[in-house]
Amino acid sequence: MADWFIRPYAGTREDALELLEVEKRSFGECPYSAQELAARLARPEQRVWLAEAAGRVVGFLSGLETLGLGGPRLEADLLGVHPDWRGKGIATALLLALRRQADGRKSVRGVVSVHNPASARAFARAGFAPSEHACDLLLYRIRGRTPRALPAWGGAVRPLAQRIEADQLAAIARGDLLTTDRLLKGSQETGVTVLIAEKEAAIRSGMELLEVHTLLYSGLWIESILPSEAWGPALRAMVAAAIELAKARGLDEVGCLVPQDRWSLRATLLEEGFSPLDRYRMWQAHPLPTERASL
Ligand SMILES: CC(C)(COP(=O)(O)OP(=O)(O)OC[C@H]1O[C@@H](n2cnc3c(N)ncnc32)[C@H](O)[C@@H]1OP(=O)(O)O)[C@@H](O)C(=O)NCCC(=O)NCCS
């Protein structure tokens, strides 16, 4: 029998302190004190699982529930196992716990660096399937809060608010299977902002942004661009607006996973000050029914 087990994070000071210890031994990137970390983990969207052995936390998976135009999801955000406890199936078991928590409705996903075979193996063993193509993660780190003027392109960028705007955006994003109702409902969900770029009374494109508060940072994910091949000047204005929004909200960064063949998106992000980080694959899984807890 295994000498470790998986349980939910209990929200205690001890759990937060011990999780932070494992984070230090697996990533060492968490900028928060145990108290700050505990406050972040108390957010309602957090779904955190721990591995315990001999009365100590030896592994963790911080999951996030997100809502967006693609529907509710569980994100397997950060996974770490203490070096003394690796290779025993702990990461796999943590990922399976998150899949079971998806209550039959939400898809579960995580991004894994193409240079991290141990993590990829754990995701595969937990039943996740990788995306065929890898994406580059491009990141904009907010350094100053002074607002910057948006690039002049003859149009305006603002959050989607009205049905007529959702109608127009749905019409141009047709290939992305988005209806007016879905756009309107999605744009009103907590943590979701849909920006629209309008010029001469016509909506040219949209951008879906998700606000996330993880163990390592608070930021905006550029989740989707509508239509996916957006007109250059409108795209640039929306990227600049996303950065301004992150500044205004006191966030740390804006990130975007860019598929290899999206040259114009990559060029626009680089022009606006994003830096490439690493290459990742998206790993996805269906939720697991709770009764398969013994898997
Ligand atoms: C990635 C990590 C969480 C895996 O934890 P773990 O508990 O050892 O994972 P598991 O035991 O469930 O599975 C790991 C699998 O990868 C395999 N593996 C380990 N190192 C490997 C390597 N360098 N190349 C290929 N496979 C490797 C293990 O053999 C095991 O597969 P197996 O059971 O089929 O033999 C752990 O190594 C870690 O904390 N790394 C540092 C932080 C990190 O990279 N986190 C993931 C990114 S979010």
Atom of ligand 1 nearest to the CA of 90: 7
Peptide bond into 227 cis (omega under 30): yes
Q: What is the sign of the dihedral through the CA atoms of 286, 137, 248 and 170?
A: negative
Q: What is the CA 213 to chain-centroid distance, rounded? A: 9
Per the prediction, the chain carries an average pLDDT of 94
Ligand 1 probe mutation, 81, 215, 282, most atoms within 8 A of CB: 81
**Same domain, yes or no: 65 and 142:** no
100 shares its domain with 216:
no
Whether residue 233 sits in one domain with residue 112: no
CA–CA separation, 226 vs 218, rounded Å? 24
Do 14 and 117 sit in the same domain of this protein? yes
> Average pLDDT in the 254-274 region?
95
Determine the structural domain holding residue 236 and report its residue range: 138-278
Residue 281's beta-bridge partner residues? 112
Same-domain status, 260 and 273: yes
Q: Candidates 3, 78, 79: which one to mutate for ligand 1, based on the most atoms within 8 Å of Cβ?
A: 79
Q: What is the pLDDT of residue 175?
A: 67
Residues 103 and 146 in one domain: no
Q: How far is the C-alpha of 222 from the C-alpha of 205, rounded, in Å? A: 14
163 phi, psi to nearest 5 deg = -60, -40
pLDDT tens for each residue of 229-263: 888 999 999 999 999 999 999 999 999 999 988 99
Determine contact, residues 228/175, Cβ cutoff 8 Å: yes
Strands (E), 103-147: 107-113, 129-130, 135-141
The sign of the dihedral angle between the CA atoms of 246, 250, 251, 252 is positive
- Provide the pLDDT for residue 176: 65
- Identify the CATH number of the domain in which residue 128 sits: 3.40.630.30
Q: Are residues 163 and 66 in the same domain?
A: no
The H or E element containing residue 85 is none
Residue 218 has pLDDT above 90, yes or no: yes
Closest C-alpha residue for ligand 1 atom 5: 91
Residue 136 near residue 276, CB atoms below 8 Å: yes
How confident is residue 56, by pLDDT bands cut at 50, 70 and 90?
very high
Q: Are residues 47 and 118 in the same domain?
A: yes
In this structure, the answer to whether residues 15 and 80 fall within a common structural domain is yes
| Nearest CA owner, ligand 1 atom 17 | 118
Torsion sign, CA atoms 38, 44, 48, 52: positive
For residues 142 and 159, membership in a common domain is answered with yes
Residues with CB under 6 A from ligand 1: 26-27, 78-81, 86-92, 116-119, 121-122, 125
DSSP-derived 3-state class of residue 119: helix
If asked whether residues 214 and 125 sit together in one domain, one would say: no
Take atom 31 of ligand 1 and give the residue whose Cα is closest.
121
d(C-alpha 170, C-alpha 69), whole Å: 12
Contact yes or no for 170/180 (Cβ under 8 A): yes
Distance between first and last Cα of the chain: 14
- Could you give the number of structural domains in the chain? 2
Same domain? 55 vs 178: no
